[in-house]
Structure 1
């Protein structure tokens, strides 16, 4: 396989942890794959640039389609996500999805766990074609084969030529063609969901455990000792009928919510947001992921409303609003944005102007970086972050 094809370069740069550059149609560097038009692989030894929708030679399952460069690169960027999270974000950004059956095979190949994959279609060179002809025809050389074919074509009709071609045909089998079969599994996900829903419905309709008749009879005919007593000792043994007198767990239904971007390329993610909001210290997300840190689905942070206060207010930090109920949106007090409007898709307020009229908005950028043009019309506060941030940003 050529070292200049996009699949080989993507695998090489991923294993070597070399940076892959995304360039927009105007020639500027961007961080989001959906904003880029080209993908650049450049280091000290080589430099190659491909349109992001360039097809690779990695076959999609047993079909005749091939994954594009942007599809494989986006899977690498979202390798930490679950299948459900990855599928939702692919749909939101309008990209092609790597199938569930291919996901682990693709990641293992691109990260170097496996050396090759059966779904990679190698381009056959002239040398390999000639070698195949030599095996088929034994000791015949090219000149004698060509003379024999021309002789048959000149003295026979088309059917004789076709018979000669058919006699030399060999059935090619690959791992993809062997597994292709004659059945379609396109609806397997739909069937699985149907089975789960049917099982859940049976559990909900299952009758509750019948009470013991002996206990029911005893409860219907209480003895003298079970009757209410006016003595303090018996009163202390009975549960109180006043709901307010019973101890209740602390409710989290009114804890404020902060929403941050889910994109792994964002400056602030679930890996480093706690240090940023509580200690005003910026830590690179990639460093935490390299140390093996797991991504939390929800964080609880505490902040003082004023510098001289001892009481700290808790906040919930999430990077997905999919599970928010309609009443939970009243608790959203702050939103961090990357400047991409698709971040607010399916939210209660989908337009940035309407969203930031209800909640406080923040846009984080590097101190030497210009903000995106899209946020200039949004009601958001710009946070200029320095890599050596200690106590320079307060909000």
Structure 2
């Protein structure tokens, strides 16, 4: 039974106000089939992507028709008082437009959803009469047509994940094998494993690097023989033969004989590496300051850490100082423990090892935002590899139009209100749930 369409027909025909309910069913009109309150419709909510129930949609639209100017918070209080499940502010405008006939369909309607009628909520006689015309001839019920199927949202995430998982597993095994071989050879320097070493040394040493025969994994003072240091022949006049050790020192001349011929080599200083697997995840936010920017360094910490959204210009006018990078402590779905994340408006240098820690980014909708990123295709505006390795998000206000180019990217849209704050928590939880799914799919070693 297409409960959503039945409710819509009653709203359009002006009959929804006359509908009634009891503890288990919704009665649109006496001659209609009663709808089970707890039955699911084929309308998917923007919060959690769950199918809304009959009682949520019916009570909401009836309340709106009777009180069109009343705030959403007033509707929620009334629904709770009457014992009805509520729906989110994020679904409000779209449902009103569809149920009142302002638009013919909605992208949130899932025509592939399997809806099972409850035997306790169906009168077979009424259903049979509904499916016959005046002459008693059965008539065809058109539930879906070609256009409605084409307009339906299509989520290919599970399909892509199915084919991508074996490929990522193979890459991981090859990387572990390479690391094991390097350790067996005594190679300890892993700083440039993502950049060709030859290119790095030519850029920093010069074009003569190819003729110097340098051993980039050796220490500065070591060499295969006394006449070679780091693969470079030392002139014979600079070589010093080891001094003979006297059997017994005697006289002042013995002092000079005891002097070492060279200072002992110092152990190489280990440099701190922040981009190794298991590091603190990085979240990149825009550095912009216009009215369409939802999150930047003024308000990102409060939203991502506590789920509380305040427009950035309000924070700025309050006298708050902006930093280019801050740390947040996440407790959401972490059993009381605090997990540290770094939030920054500055992307790492193109060759920086910190790219291994970048987990998410918020996009503005302009390709120039990624011009210095190290992923394949960014120079040509191709961001497929970028958003396969980094979870992309687009934060927008509910009154702003969607950006066409963002629709072609593999990013998730987070919609917030400029003035209403009751939907902020849902947007906050949606962000963290999507980021967790992305990192889990990539078997990330970051501390998230």
TM-score range, shorter chain: 0.3 to 0.5
The normalised TM-score by structure 2 is 0.31
Q: TM-score, normalised by structure 1?
A: 0.35
